[in-house]
C-alpha cells in the first residue's frame, strides 16, 4: 500500500469554501475516475493564527496506481484550477510512503 501526502494552505476566510470544493467536487471527481488501485482519501484540517492548513492522504495499491492518477512524474501535485484560486500556497510535490503497518480500533 502507498500513502500519498500533500499539504495546502489558505486564508481563514477561504478555508470553508476550499473544504466544500474538496468534498463536493474534487474528491468525487477522483472517485469517478475509477482508478485501478485507488483506495480512498482522507482530509485533515488545522487552523493557525492567520491561515488554515489542509493535508490530504490518498491510498493506493502501488506506485503504478499513483502514476495513473498523477502521471509519469507522479510526485507532481495534482491541484485543479478551482483549488488554486482558493489556496494561498501549496506543496508543488507530493510525498509517497510505503505503508508498513496499520492498526486501527
Q: Where are the domains positioned within the chain? A: 2-98
pLDDT at 90: 98
Chain-wide mean pLDDT for the chain?
97
C-alpha cell, 82 = 478551482
Reported pTM? 0.94
Residue 23, C-beta contacts closer than 8 angstroms, at least 6 positions apart: 43
Per-residue pLDDT reduced to its tens digit, 46-84: 999 999 999 999 999 999 999 999 999 999 999 999 999
What CATH architecture does domain 2-98 belong to? 2-Layer Sandwich (3.30)
Q: Dihedral, CA atoms, 52, 15, 26, 82, nearest 10 degrees? A: -110
- Return the ∠ at Cα 61 (arms to 59 and 63), rounded to 5°: 95
Amino acid at each position: 500500500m502507498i500513502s500519498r501526502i500533500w499539504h495546502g494552505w489558505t486564508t481563514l476566510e477561504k478555508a470553508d469554501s476550499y473544504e466544500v470544493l474538496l468534498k463536493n467536487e474534487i474528491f468525487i471527481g477522483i472517485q469517478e475516475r475509477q482508478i485501478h488501485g485507488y483506495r480512498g482519501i482522507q482530509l485533515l484540517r488545522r487552523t493557525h493564527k492567520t491561515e488554515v492548513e489542509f493535508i490530504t492522504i490518498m491510498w493506493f495499491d502501488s506506485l503504478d496506481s499513483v502514476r495513473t492518477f498523477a502521471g509519469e512524474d507522479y510526485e507532481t501535485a495534482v491541484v485543479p484550477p478551482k483549488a488554486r484560486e482558493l489556496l494561498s500556497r501549496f506543496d508543488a510535490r507530493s510525498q509517497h510512503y510505503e505503508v508498513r503497518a496499520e492498526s486501527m480500533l
